Chain A
Amino acid sequence: MSEKEKIAKQMKEIVKQFMSESQLKAHMLMAIEEHMKESDLVFGRLAYLHYGLFSAQRNHPTYIAAAIELIVLAGDLFDDVVDQDRLKDDAITVHTAIGFLLLGQQVIAHSHIADEKKLKALSYVTSCLLQSVHGQQADVACNVQTEAEYVKMVEKKSGSLVAMACVIGALLAGKEDIAAIETYARYIGIAAQIDNDLDALYNWDKKADIQAKKKSLPILYMLESKHDNLWKQYFNSDIDYERMYVQKEKALQQMEQEGAIYYAKVMSQIYKEKAWQEIEKLDVDDKYKSALKTMIL
């Protein structure tokens, strides 16, 4: 069984153990199945890897990875509610998301780990989630105007979640100095979000980012262009989404020709390089460094 399958199995076992309401339980199990199809469970695997990095124990508990992945899945479901008009499903989706959010923390609280470590870990989870909520709100409010503001927003929105995954693994294993881990984790989160935003540009039908007028790096680049382009027209409300959508190939072509895609790729690469530099400084076995680098490449 792969690491991913082990984590997913553990997530389901946690749901079966703690949830009693049959409809909610069934919905949560279904959500885990769906999540498995779409995700490599990177957050859970990062927590697992970091526990292994700093723990003297040979057996690395999968429930820590499952707890983190449940919390991240809660965030994904809340995003769905924010991004999509799914009123019919809203109640059960919101309850499922709240269930996952609390369940992840419950699992950490009930683990057979020293109370001091658990308290630190749970406090860190709360702090990261609060930062992420601030970033999410800045994103949906579309009040990002510059590269610096974008980086600040995604550091909160995504960097904090990657930091949560990496640091929780380390804290529960007994690692006290988490500064370096937090630094590279935030860089990884920023790079991953830039890549996700690029992905959204090529998947208008699957993602609502363009329709919601979210300003990613390539879009900021196009809005700063000295030439007229479809992005300027759309974001200035000179054309509506329907008119933009029918010209999406041309809009993407304009981005590619002006260098907006290169710009985002360079920025992503810069944060990956920064993360790698920090990872290299870690005083741990090279095999862990390689595993970490492979996971984020």
Chain B
Amino acid sequence: MQQIIRFLVEHPEIVEKLQNGTVSLIGLSELEGKAVIKAFSESIHPLRYWM
């Protein structure tokens, strides 16, 4: 997962295509793909502490 995130940070245009559904990431499950799209769609600081 670390490698995928590093790749996406270096290629923001791919993130946009992922969000539009025009590309998909090989090697990720559907669940992981959804998680990547959700995380990159949110602001970086929405931390929520519930414990």
Q: Do A and B bind each other?
A: yes
Which residues of A line the B interface, CB within 8 A? 39-40, 42, 147, 158, 192-193, 195-196, 198-199, 202, 221, 224, 256-259, 261-263, 265-267, 269-270, 273-274, 277, 296
Binary A-proximity of B8-44 (CB < 8 A = 1, otherwise 0): 1100000000000000000000011011101110101
Question: Nearest Cβ distance between residue A182 and chain B, in whole angstroms?
Answer: 18
Given contacts A195-B50, A202-B47, A269-B38, contact A277 B5 (CB under 8 A): no
Task: A266 to B3: give the CA distance in the assembly, Å.
Answer: 13
Is there contact, CB below 8 Å, between B51 and A221?
Answer: no
Is there contact, CB below 8 Å, between A266 and B42?
Answer: no
* A199: contacting residue among B9, B34, B40, B47, CB under 8 A: B47
Task: A196 to B38: give the CA distance in the assembly, Å.
Answer: 19
Contact residues in A for B42 (Cβ distance below 8 Å): 265
A-B contact pairs, 14 of them (CB 8 A): A193-B51, A199-B48, A199-B49, A202-B47, A221-B2, A224-B2, A259-B5, A262-B40, A265-B42, A266-B1, A266-B5, A266-B36, A269-B39, A270-B35
Which residues of B line the A interface, CB within 8 A? 1-2, 5-6, 8-9, 31-32, 34-36, 38-40, 42, 44-45, 47-51
Given contacts A269-B38, A270-B31, contact A40 B50 (CB under 8 A): yes
Question: Nearest Cβ distance between residue B40 and chain A, in whole angstroms?
Answer: 6
Given contacts A259-B9, A266-B35, contact A198 B47 (CB under 8 A): yes
User: Looking at chain A's contact residues, is the secondary structure mostly helix, strand, loop, or mixed?
Assistant: helix
Residue on A with the closest CB to B35?
Answer: A269
Given contacts A262-B40, A273-B35, contact A196 B49 (CB under 8 A): yes
Closest 3 CB pairs of A and B: A259-B9, A269-B35, A265-B39
Question: Nearest Cβ distance between residue A165 and chain B, in whole angstroms?
Answer: 11
Contact residues in B for A277 (Cβ distance below 8 Å): 31
Is there contact, CB below 8 Å, between A196 and B2?
Answer: no
Question: Nearest Cβ distance between residue B18 and chain A, in whole angstroms?
Answer: 12
